[in-house]
Each structure stands twice: as C-alpha cells, then as structure tokens.
C-alpha cells in the first residue's frame, strides 16, 4: 500500500514538473471579474468615482498608450515618445515619436514631422505627469465614433457589463501572448469568488481581510502595495467634529480584528510608501470626554461587506465617545460617509490632485504635505487605513506581475 | 532638433533633490526660523528609510550643530523629531518642532543618497525578449532568427507573423550545475557554444550542425557584470547587479552613476551586446526565466 501511494506521489510530482516545463504560450483568453462598472473607453471622459477610475485605468491602458510612462520608482520612461527635449528658447517641449507604432486598424501613427510639440507653460515634471495619465493617451477617433489605440489589445466589445479585448497583432513591442481578455464588470465579491471556484474566471478581486486565510490555503494571490485609503468624509456642517471623531476611533482594533492585520493604520490620505510623510498624521486613539452632540448617521457602499464591518466598529467607537452614530437609512443624507479612495500613480502631488478631484474640490498649489493637510481639513476627512489591492488568480494564469501589464500574461490550459 | 536642444532628464532629476547636507541645511533653516531667543532644542531621530543608520546619525549631528543655541536659564529644550524617510522619488529629511502645549511645525526636504558624480547621462530601458521555465543561459537575435541557449539545449526560433516559432533544436550533453553558465558566439555561419564544462562548435547554416566535447570549465568571475567598450562617449562602461540571493529583486546599474533599472527577479547573467546589454533573470520560485535586452538611450 505504501509503495502504491509513493507511486501516486511520484506521478503527481512528475505531472507538476511537466506542467512547469512549458514555455510561454500564445493564445487563450484571460477572464477577469471586477466590482466597478465602466461605461465607456473614451480617455477624454474620466469617471470621478475612484473605484471606476482605477478600473478604467486598468482596462484602457491595455488599449491606449501614452507618450510617457512612469516606472516602479516613479521615474518617467519613454513610451510612444522616444525622447523629449526643449527648444533653445525653452518655449516648447518636443517629444519625438517612436517609429513603427500602428493603430489597431493597421494604420501608422505618424505625428507631423515625427514630433509632438507641447507649450512650455508648466514645469516639465507636471507635463510628464499629465502626459503619462491615461487621459492623455494617443487616440484616433474614427468618423463612426470608433476609438482606435496603439496598445497591445484592441476593443472587440464594450457594453455596460462586459468588455472583450483582443490581441493587437502589430503592436510595436510584439503581439501579446493572450488572444483575448474578457472582463466582467459590476460583479460582487461573492459572485467573483464563485466564478473563480467554478472555473469561470481567472482573476478576481479579493477583500483585504480574506488574504491571510487564503494564503494559508495556498491560493494564488497577488497583492499590491497599499494603494487604497479607507476614510470617513464628514458633511460640511459636521466638519468641526473631524478631530474629535478621529481621536474616538480605535484604528488598531479595526486593523487587527476586522482586517486580520492586512494593510496599515493611518491618519493620512496618501500611504507612507508613496508620500514618505504619512507618519506625521496622527492616529492617536484618545476619546475626549463626552460632550452633548446630535446624532450622526453613517453610510457606505451597501455591497461592500468589509466597509459594513468597519462602519459598525466606527459607529460603536463614536457612540462610546459621546458622538452617537447610527447607520443611515433610505434616502437620508448621511453626515458621515465611509469610502474607499484609490490613489493613482507613484508621486504625491499628482496623486493628491486626483484624490481632490474625486472628492469634488480643487487644491491650490503648495507642497504635497501642506496640500494633504489642507485637503483633509477641506473635505472633513478622517483617514483610517491603507489597504493593498489583492487579486486571486486561477491556476492557468502565468506572468501576472501584480500590475495590469497584461501583454506579458499568458494562460496555460490543461490538455 | 539638434544643437539648440538640451538634455532634459538630468535637469529634471537634479532640480528635485540635493545631498543630505543640503537637506539638513534646508530643514534646519526652516526650524531655526521658528525658534525664539533663548529656545534650544533636543533632537530625537528615527530612520523610516532604507538608508543605513550612519546616515541618520549624520543627519542628527549636522542638524544638532545647525540648531545649537545657548538656552535661557530654566527653559527646557524644545523637542525636534528628525526622520529619514523615502518615497518612490527618493529620500526625505523631515524635521518636526513641537512647542507645548500644541504648536507643531514641520519642515521637509528631498535629497538624493546616490553618488552625485554620474559621468554618463543615460536612460536604461528593457525589453522582454524571451521567457521560459528552463533556466536560460544566453539569447542572440540574428535578423529573423533567435538563438536560445538553455541548460538543456540550443533552440533556433524563426519569426513568423510576429511570433517566434521553434525551427530546430539541438540537445547539449552538459553535466548538471547549480550555477549554470553558457554563451553563444556567432561568427558568420560558425557557431560556438560554451556550457559549463562543454564546448560545442559547428555551423548554423545551412543546417544547425554542432559537435560537443568536454572541456575544462573556465574560471568564472565572482560578480555578475558586463563591460561595453564605448557608451555615451565613455570608455569601458561597466554594468553591475545588486541582488544578494535568489529571492531578491535586482537592480542593473551603470557603475559610478545613478542610472539603474529594477528587475523583479535576480539577474543570473549579463552579456554585452552592441550598445546594449542582455540580462538573464531567474524567478526560481515560479520557474520563470527571462531574457531582457537593456538598451541605453544616451539622450544627446
């Protein structure tokens, strides 16, 4: 019996080795599920909701490309532009176009004289940040309204619930490994888990508090740096309670119990790895003596179970500190909103501008630290936690790098 | 586009940050402006960055010196919290002055901890050439063919409709090695392969025909590096790596300069190519072995 079991183990090992020995394979489809719903691909129409904005960025960067990209260290790198220089008078920035770049209809991208001219009305750092944003992607608008990009995938289908992208055979860096990407939008986390477990999805979103347990089960998980901020936003007429509310919340206990120690406790909007100064914002838990206060209501995305758990704990802490808080009901306008805010990019100042725009305010030019202090006061924000974004992958996904660089991803289908 | 145009990248980077000493001067100046006559400071320092502890001690002692004041009698010193931190753009020195009961001032300055003596101003970019699960040793691209040497065989791929398709392969009888190394050398139609203790010679065209013999393994250099005889106007430019183990990500850099490129997995081999470097990386955990061509844009 023991020999027989040993043989089975050896065969399993051999099978695993044989699978691992395969080379990257062209072909196949990658199936992704996400909560956000993005209604169009147009880089000129950007959603203000941070979840939708992040999703749109993830999808459209497969289709459209920018002149410049930022690398993992936040340094600008040439992309569709090979290089950039300014003229002798420093009045114009000149971006030299890369040769051999084709749109999805096969036509060549040929800017006039091979150069894109940008007026030097801003510091180059700001110009590069603006050009690297997907809003600034190179798009060809056809007479029938069709948008053509130069990216590794082209749009095959885009409706309210699903997007299908197919390989751009003539991409300047070579055809991507995948034949297609199928994205299901507006799918709840439970629905996504079911889809993965039934073999209908390859990449699904994962709540931060599920990461630890799934790791223990050896599930395939990809986790980013903390890029999501969980924060309370007070209504304008309650903004004076911001500091009192911040001191009332036991972030440590939320982090340990609800989030199973995933992510980081914070008093800042931007995470420490991104700004370098997040530790300056207080996370002190020191409830002030109760003082007479009207009752507050708190609201969050009703589909989001993690936010619901955090909101319950926040309401308990606030009530114990003399700020009675209960869940908002029906059409009632809440005094406190619990939100997930997604930070974009790898540089503090533009990331803050994006956050401010998403929260409906414009911030004056100042240092990133001063801007962030001011933004927190202006919008009545009480940042609580920074969370990574986690993805669960099916066994067939290869080369998932943690970022949405899907041109290098390939899938392995069992024979 | 020519003479009147000026390199931009260096200007952009240089404008962002100076040295640690510059940062201390800037932070100390800001904090000193907040001190009243007779106020002195007591500094508490912490390191939230990847810099070594010596840098923190250097920052602390320089700041202490810059903020030295004669304290008024019976006046306790004010607390200054000095932190070394970092973000994707570089390092930060942050000084926080606290004056009871609730006043708080923050000063911060970015600095660059990499050597300021870069002689080569260049941008490194990488392009993934090939990836497979068998450890790679060398990759050469010759027009529409790609030669991939791994620990088991040489495979010739041909470009068809933008994809690399295997055309022919030849097994190489080489003894197993925990640190395999190999090189492809092509001269006209002559082909020479060296893998650990095996040397193969033959032709690539009209057909792949090689004969392998056992050969003493040449002494391997201790460091993974590659030298390009001329680059961006400089002679004998060395490329080097930093990974210390097979679990580490890696950095490829030009020696004595701040030019560097991050790799998710350790680089196991570097080969000089015309104006470029071939970098082989190995992700042993996931059995992904990759070949990248690192090109250098001198931006002049």
What does the pLDDT look like over A163-207, one tens digit per residue? 999 999 999 888 888 999 999 999 988 999 999 999 999 999 998
Q: What are phi and psi of B182, to 5 degrees?
A: -160, 155
Q: Flag if B108 and A399 touch (Cβ within 8 Å).
A: no
pTM, whole model, 2 decimals? 0.65
Q: How confident is the model at residue A6 (pLDDT cuts 50, 70, 90)?
A: very low
Report the pLDDT value the prediction gives residue A85, as an integer from 0 to 100. 83
Chain B residues with beta carbon closer than 8 angstroms to that of A398: 288
The continuous run of DSSP H or E covering B22 comes out as helix B20-32
Question: Of B38, B111, B102, B123, which is closest to residue B75 (Cα–Cα)?
Answer: B38
User: Mean pLDDT over all residues of chain A?
Assistant: 87
Q: Flag if A72 and B123 touch (Cβ within 8 Å).
A: no
Tell me: pLDDT of A388 over 60. yes
Q: Find, in chain A, the residue whose alpha carbon is nearest to that of B284.
A: A20
A186 has a chain B CB within 8 A of its CB? no
Best of B10, B16, B45, B88 to disrupt the A interface (most A CBs within 10 Å) is B88
Q: Flag if B297 and A408 touch (Cβ within 8 Å).
A: no
Chain A residues with beta carbon closer than 8 angstroms to that of B134: 21
Q: Measure the CA–CA gap between B298 and B282, rounded to whole angstroms.
A: 28
ω into B206 cis (within 30 of 0): yes
Chain B residues with beta carbon closer than 8 angstroms to that of A72: 88, 262
Residue A122 to residues A95, A118, A339, Cα–Cα distance (Å): 15, 10, 33
Tell me: pLDDT of A144 over 90. no
**The token pair that represents A209 in the structure block:** 């508090």
Chain B residues with beta carbon closer than 8 angstroms to that of A86: 5-6, 8
Q: What are phi and psi of A125, to 5 degrees?
A: -60, -45
Best of B8, B93, B297 to disrupt the A interface (most A CBs within 10 Å) is B8
Tell me: pLDDT of A295 over 50. yes
Closest-CA distance of chain A to residue B201, Å: 26
pLDDT lower than 70: segments of chain B: 1-17, 114-122, 176-178, 217-223, 233, 243-248, 256-258, 298-300
> Hey, is A309 helix, strand or coil?
helix
Q: Flag if B85 and A78 touch (Cβ within 8 Å).
A: no
Q: Flag if A85 and B8 touch (Cβ within 8 Å).
A: yes
Average pLDDT over residues A232-249: 94
Q: What are phi and psi of A268, to 5 degrees?
A: -115, 160
Question: Of A276, A281, A296, which is closest to residue A376 (Cα–Cα)?
Answer: A281
Q: Measure the CA–CA gap between B87 and B285, rounded to whole angstroms.
A: 28
Report the pLDDT value the prediction gives residue B9, as an integer from 0 to 100. 32
**The token pair that represents A383 in the structure block:** 């940042």
> Hey, is A74 helix, strand or coil?
coil
Chain B residues with beta carbon closer than 8 angstroms to that of A82: 297
A23 has a chain B CB within 8 A of its CB? yes
Average pLDDT over residues A93-117: 93
How many helices (DSSP H) and strands (DSSP E) are in chain A?
A: 11, 20
The continuous run of DSSP H or E covering A51 comes out as helix A50-63
Tell me: pLDDT of A384 over 60. yes
Nearest neighbour of A347 by CB, restricted to B5, B8, B88 = B88
Report the pLDDT value the prediction gives residue A53, as an integer from 0 to 100. 83
Query: Residues A15-55: pLDDT tens digits?
Result: 333 332 245 678 999 999 999 999 999 998 888 776 788 89
ω into B101 cis (within 30 of 0): yes
Q: Looking at per-residue confidence, does A75 or A340 come out higher?
A: A340
Instruction: List A residues 108-167 in contact with B (Cβ-Cβ < 8 A).
Output: 115, 124-125, 128
CB pairs under 8 A between A and B: 105
Nearest neighbour of B125 by CB, restricted to A20, A78, A347 = A78
B227 near B238, Cβ under 8 Å?
A: yes
Instruction: List A residues 265-294 in contact with B (Cβ-Cβ < 8 A).
Output: 272-277, 279-280
CA torsion B109→B114→B120→B121, rounded to 10°?
-30
Q: Flag if A85 and B48 touch (Cβ within 8 Å).
A: no
Nearest neighbour of B89 by CB, restricted to A174, A347, A401 = A347
Closest-CA distance of chain B to residue A50, Å: 22
Helices (H), B185-270: none
Average pLDDT over residues A299-311: 89
Helices (H), A217-347: 242-248, 251-253, 272-275, 305-320
Report the pLDDT value the prediction gives residue A246, as an integer from 0 to 100. 97
A62 near A82, Cβ under 8 Å?
A: no
ipTM: 0.76
Average pLDDT over residues A348-372: 87
Q: Find, in chain B, the residue whose alpha carbon is nearest to that of A82.
A: B297
Report the pLDDT value the prediction gives residue B219, as an integer from 0 to 100. 54
Closest-CA distance of chain B to residue A303, Å: 34
Q: Which residues contact B12 (CB under 8 A, 6 or more apart)?
A: A76, A124, A125, A128
Report the pLDDT value the prediction gives residue B48, as an integer from 0 to 100. 93
Report the pLDDT value the prediction gives residue B14, as an integer from 0 to 100. 29
Chain A residues with beta carbon closer than 8 angstroms to that of B296: none
Q: Flag if A88 and B5 touch (Cβ within 8 Å).
A: yes
Report the pLDDT value the prediction gives residue B223, as an integer from 0 to 100. 66
Nearest neighbour of B262 by CB, restricted to A73, A272, A346 = A73
B216 near B282, Cβ under 8 Å?
A: no
Q: Flag if A276 and B87 touch (Cβ within 8 Å).
A: yes
Report the pLDDT value the prediction gives residue B8, as an integer from 0 to 100. 32
Q: What are phi and psi of A316, to 5 degrees?
A: -65, -50
């Amino acid at each position: 019996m023991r020999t027989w079991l040993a043989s089975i183990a050896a065969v399993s090992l051999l099978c695993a080795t044989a699978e691992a020995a395969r080379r990257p394979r062209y072909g196949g489809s990658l199936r992704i599920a996400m909560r956000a719903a993005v209604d169009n691909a147009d880089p000129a129409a950007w959603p203000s909701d941070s979840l939708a904005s992040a999703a749109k960025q993830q999808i459209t960067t497969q289709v459209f490309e920018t002149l410049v990209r930022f690398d993992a260290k936040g340094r600008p790198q040439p992309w569709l532009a090979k290089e950039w220089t300014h003229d002798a008078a420093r009045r114009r920035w000149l971006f030299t176009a890369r040769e051999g770049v084709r749109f999805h209809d096969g036509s060549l991208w040929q800017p006039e004289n091979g150069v894109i001219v940008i007026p030097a009305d801003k510091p180059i750092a700001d110009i590069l940040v603006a050009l690297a944003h997907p809003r600034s992607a190179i798009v060809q608008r056809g007479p029938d309204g069709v948008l053509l990009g130069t990216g590794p995938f082209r749009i095959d289908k885009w409706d309210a619930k699903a997007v299908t992208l197919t390989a751009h055979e003539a991409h300047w860096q070579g055809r991507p490994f995948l034949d297609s990407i199928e994205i299901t939008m507006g799918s709840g986390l439970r629905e996504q888990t079911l889809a993965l477990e039934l073999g209908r999805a390859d990449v699904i979103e994962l709540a931060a508090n599920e990461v630890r347990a799934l790791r223990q089960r050896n599930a395939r998980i990809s986790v980013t740096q903390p890029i999501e901020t969980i924060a309370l936003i007070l209504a304008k007429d309650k903004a004076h309670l911001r500091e009192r509310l911040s001191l009332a919340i036991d972030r440590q206990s939320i982090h340990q119990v609800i989030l199973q120690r995933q992510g980081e406790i914070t008093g800042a909007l931007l995470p420490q790895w991104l700004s370098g100064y997040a530790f300056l914002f207080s996370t002190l838990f020191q409830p002030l003596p109760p003082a007479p206060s009207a009752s507050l209501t708190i609201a969050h995305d009703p589909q989001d179970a993690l936010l619901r758990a955090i909101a319950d704990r926040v309401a308990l802490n606030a009530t114990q500190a003399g700020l009675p808080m209960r869940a908002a009901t029906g059409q009632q306008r809440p005094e406190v909103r619990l939100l997930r805010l997604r930070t974009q990019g790898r540089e503090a100042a533009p990331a803050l501008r994006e956050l401010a725009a998403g929260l409906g305010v414009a911030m004056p030019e100042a240092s990133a630290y001063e801007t962030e202090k001011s933004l927190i006061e202006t919008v009545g924000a009480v940042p609580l936690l920074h969370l990574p974004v986690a993805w669960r992958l099916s066994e067939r996904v290869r080369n998932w790098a943690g970022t949405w660089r899907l041109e290098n991803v390939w899938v392995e289908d069992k024979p | 586009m020519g003479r009147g145009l000026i390199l931009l990248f260096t200007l952009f980077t240089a404008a962002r940050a100076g040295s640690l000493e510059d940062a201390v001067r800037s932070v100390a100046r800001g904090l000193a402006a907040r001190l009243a006559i007779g106020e002195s400071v007591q500094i508490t320092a912490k390191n939230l960055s990847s810099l070594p502890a010596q840098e923190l001690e250097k920052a602390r002692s320089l700041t202490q010196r810059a903020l030295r004041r004669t304290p008024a009698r019976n006046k306790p010193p004010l607390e200054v919290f000095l932190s070394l931190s970092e973000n994707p753009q570089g390092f930060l020195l942050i000084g926080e002055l606290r004056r009871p009961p609730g006043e708080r001032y923050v000063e911060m300055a970015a600095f660059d901890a990499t050597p300021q003596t870069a002689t080569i101003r260049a941008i490194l970019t990488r392009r993934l050439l090939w990836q497979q699960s068998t450890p790679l040793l060398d990759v050469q691209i010759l027009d529409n063919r790609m030669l991939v040497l791994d620990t088991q065989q040489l495979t010739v791929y041909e470009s068809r409709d933008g994809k690399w398709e295997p055309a022919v392969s030849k097994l190489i009888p080489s003894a197993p090695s925990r640190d395999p190394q190999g090189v492809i050398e092509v001269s006209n139609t002559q082909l020479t392969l060296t893998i650990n203790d095996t040397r193969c010679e033959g032709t690539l065209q009209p057909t792949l025909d090689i004969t392998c013999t056992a050969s003493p393994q040449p002494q391997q250099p201790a460091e993974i590096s590659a030298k390009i005889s001329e680059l961006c106007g400089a002679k004998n430019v060395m490329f080097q790596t930093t990974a210390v183990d097979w679990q580490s990500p890696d950095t490829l850099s030009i020696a004595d300069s701040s030019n560097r490129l991050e790799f998710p997995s350790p680089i196991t081999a570097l080969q000089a190519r015309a104006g470029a470097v071939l970098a082989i990386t190995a992700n042993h955990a996931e059995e992904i072995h990759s070949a990248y061509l690192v090109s250098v844009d001198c931006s002049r």
